[in-house]
Each structure stands twice: as C-alpha cells, then as structure tokens.
Amino acid sequence: MLNIKQTKLHFASALLVGGLMGASSMSFAETLKLSHNGDTKSPVHQALKFFADEVQEKTDGDLKVRVYPNGQLGTQRESLELLQSGALDMAKSNASELESFDPAYGAFNIPYIFRDREHFYRALESEDIGQKILRSSEQYGFVGVAYFDAGSRNFYTTKPVKTPADLKGMKIRVQPSPSAIKMMELMGASPTPLPFGELYTALQQRVVDGAENNIGAVTTYRHGEVAKYYSQDEHAMIPDVLVISSKTWESLSDKNKAAVLAAGKEATAFMKTLWAEYTEEELNKATKMGVEILDVDKDAFIKAVEPMHKDAANDPVIASYVEAIKALDK
C-alpha cells in the first residue's frame, strides 16, 4: 500500500504529466509549470508572477509560465523531487533546502556570513559566487535561474530569547538542512525538522517551542498568534532560489533560455524593492498582533557559531565561495 507521501507524489506526477499528453516535443514547453509554497499575497508570489509576465513578453508569447502557489503540487521538497525527474518544470526553493541536493548552496547557509543586505546582494550578483552556484546544479537535475530576497531569519518563540543561553533546552523547528541543524546545536537548542505547513499546529500544541524565519512567517502565516516573541538576531540571510528542471532547460531554444535568465534578473531586482517595503509593513503588523520585537546580544550568537566558519574554511566544496563572500565585505 502506498503511503501518503508516495500517493501525493504519484498524484502530482500524474497531474503534471497528464496535462502534457498528446503535445508535440516543443508544444508542451510553451507553458512551464512553476510550483511554490507561498500564498497568493506573499511577495514571492508577486515576484514569480512578475517573472512569468516577463518571460511571456521577452519570448513574444512563445513561452509561458503558469504559477501554482500554496504547495498545490507538493511541498517544497516534493516539488524538487518532481523537478529532478522532469515531471515538473520549475520550482521556488531556498538555499537551505537546496543544500541537501547540491552542497554548493551550503555557502549561503552559514550563520552571519553576510554583514548586511548590500553585502548579501553583492555575493548573489557576483559571477564567481552567486551566479556560479546557480550553474553548479545541472548535474543534480536542476539549474538555478534567479535569487529572491527572503529577508533575514530570526527566532520567534513562546518565551523571550536574547542570548544563546535562552535557547538551551528549547525545541526549535528548522528546515532539513545540515547547516541549520548544526547552527541550532551550537546555539544550545534542540533542532526539530518539520514541514513548514505543520508548524502552526506544532507551535500551538507545544511540539516545538519556536522556529526561525523572516517576519512573514509571524504575520502572513499567523505564527505570531502562538509565538509571541520575535528576536532580531539576524542569524542568516538565506536566499530563495528559482530553479528549472535540467530536462526542461535542455528542451528550450537558446533564445528562450536567454529570455528566462533575463526575466530572472529583472524579477530579482523587483523583489529587492518589494521585500524592503514588505518587511517594514509586517513588523508593524506583528506588533499589532501582540508580538514583542526583541533586540538581542548579537555578538554572543556570532561567537556561538564560530566553529561553523572554521569548518567551512576547510570544506572543499564551499571553502572558495566562503572566502570570496568574506572578501566582498572588506
């Protein structure tokens, strides 16, 4: 008997592949299916719709992108698995999730690797760092198209957290990323990987004591109803990443490949402005929800994760990226 996950994956595959039946080898590529797990009001959905419009315009309607929000085609990880098999064309993921598929993305997941947003963007736009990493994953079944700002990641919890000592003994939800798990252990918490869609209930039932994410998780997804403290430690700036199946990518003409990449760059710039406005608005909303915004002893958090920087310097996959990112801040 198939378990729930297998059934869901088979259903999504059938839905995706079934829609392509009877099409010619190029006609099916005229409309690419793009999956993401945000809702239709989220900045990432707006950025992906902007991307879809740009692709259609730049290809004179030869190539279209249909965006499926709210995890309609599976969780973020399930979408990546479908993408690798060629059953799905495109998906929005993030560097934390992608690290499990392509270790090069681990360079972005080291806590406090970026000093601020401008440093973050310089790294993403660098041909030798961000753009090279986007191209590194074709062997794993997908190609990176563009980065999207996902803000800084901060702790939101059921009790105040101002230093790593406050995290001791707390169960904190993390993404299934080796870097995220290691970071949480060094800070003294108990890392608890959970799908994002299960997090509200897990917080409500005290399965976990908190999580770490940008402010949108607190407001848009209402986690602030059950986790009343938001600690601005800014331990990570992990980019969202738009990826395309290697099989789909190879089926595109050179002209359409160029259009997709150009649309991706414009969508990145669009998201940069959108996210800055969104963050200010959501912090105000969180306060109105009764969430207390806390300042923290950031130096204590930075010191706690120093071993990860030392390990990264000796990691043959990401050492050169990490060195180059740090050099951009000098």
- C-alpha 88, offset from chain centre: 18
Range 166-169 contact pairs with CB under 8 angstroms and sequence separation of 24 or more = none
Calpha distance 253→87 (Å, rounded): 19
The architecture that CATH gives domain 4-94+137-148+240-278 is: 3-Layer(aba) Sandwich (3.40)
Q: What is the 3-state secondary structure of 11-50?
A: HHHHHHHHCCCCCCCCHHHHEEEEECCCCCCCHHHHHHHH
pLDDT in tens, 120-160: 999 999 999 999 999 999 999 999 999 999 999 999 999 99
CA dist., res. 155 & res. 231, Å (int): 5
**How many helices (H) and strands (E) are present in the chain, helices listed first?**
14, 11
pLDDT in tens, 177-192: 888 899 999 999 999 9
Q: Considering the entire predicted model, what is its pTM?
A: 0.83
Helix (H) or strand (E) holding 269, with range, is helix 254-288
| Residue 199 in this model has a pLDDT that exceeds 60 | yes
Quote the percentage of the chain above a pLDDT of 70.
91
Question: Can you give the pLDDT at residue 15?
Answer: 53
Spatial distance between the Cα atoms of 226 and 4, rounded to a whole number of angstroms: 28
> What pLDDT score was predicted for residue 158?
97
Domains of the chain, residue spans: 4-94+137-148+240-278, 153-237+282-327
User: What's the whole-number mean pLDDT along residues 36-43?
Assistant: 91
Q: Which of 21-25, 172-176, 222-226 has the highest mean pLDDT?
A: 222-226
Do the domains at 4-94+137-148+240-278 and 153-237+282-327 have one common CATH topology? yes
pLDDT tens-digit readout, 72-121? 999 888 999 999 999 999 999 999 889 989 999 999 999 999 999 999 99
Structure tokens at 81: 């698995």
**115: its two tokens:** 């000093």
The third-level CATH classification (topology) of the domain covering 153-237+282-327 is D-Maltodextrin-Binding Protein; domain 2 (3.40.190)
Q: Alpha-carbon distance 239 to 272, whole Å? A: 11
Write down the pLDDT at residue 12.
53
Could you report the per-residue pLDDT of 9-32, keeping only the tens digit for each?
A: 554 555 555 544 434 344 444 899
